[in-house]
């Protein structure tokens, strides 16, 4: 496979944490095979970029813990977590401390990423 660059678009967190955890697990596995992986967090997935949120998840049943997956993605694979700018205010993230490698970006940035990479939506 020539293009090994992907953007994972996550739209869920606490309401469907298994879906988010599955996406993070798949991304970790792909990154281990030298794929370039970054994330665009929309809707309630934006909470994943808030410092301490992933560690607060208590009800996950499958996959590795979300907090461990995110830590590995950031520290071991230097993945970026882009938070949809339109989601910051509605989800109460204004002024919130974000995790390392997280930054707020407009939806147009997602479009730019998708022009260069394959997108996977969860």
- C-alpha 54/C-alpha 4 separation (Å) is 27
Reference 9, options 78, 109, 94; nearest CA is 109
- pLDDT tier at 2, thresholds 50, 70, 90: low
Percentage of the chain beyond pLDDT 90 is 89
Q: Which burial class, exposed, middle or buried, applies to 22 when counting CB atoms under 10 A from its CB (0-12, 13-18, 19+)?
A: middle
Distances (CA, A) of 5 to 1, 27, 63, 77, 117: 10, 11, 23, 13, 5
pTM of structure: 0.93
- C-alpha 11/C-alpha 8 separation (Å) is 10
Q: Which of 27-31, 62-66, 117-121 has the lowest mean pLDDT?
A: 62-66
Q: Domain segments of the chain: what residues?
A: 5-121
Instruction: Please give the mean pLDDT across all residues of the chain.
Output: 95
- pLDDT tier at 40, thresholds 50, 70, 90: very high
Reference 31, options 63, 71, 60; nearest CA is 71
Which CATH number applies to 5-121? 3.40.1260.10
């Amino acid at each position: 496979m020539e293009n090994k660059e992907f953007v994972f678009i996550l739209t869920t967190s606490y309401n469907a944490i298994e879906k988010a955890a599955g996406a993070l697990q798949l991304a970790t596995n792909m990154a281990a095979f030298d794929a370039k992986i970054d994330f665009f967090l929309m809707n309630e997935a934006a909470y994943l970029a808030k410092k301490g949120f992933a560690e607060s998840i208590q009800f996950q049943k499958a996959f590795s813990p979300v907090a461990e997956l995110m830590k590995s993605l950031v520290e071991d694979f230097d993945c970026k977590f882009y938070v949809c700018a339109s989601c910051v205010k509605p989800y109460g993230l204004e002024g919130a401390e974000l995790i390392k490698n997280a930054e707020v970006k407009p939806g147009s940035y997602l479009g730019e990423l998708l022009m260069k990479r394959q997108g996977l939506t969860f």
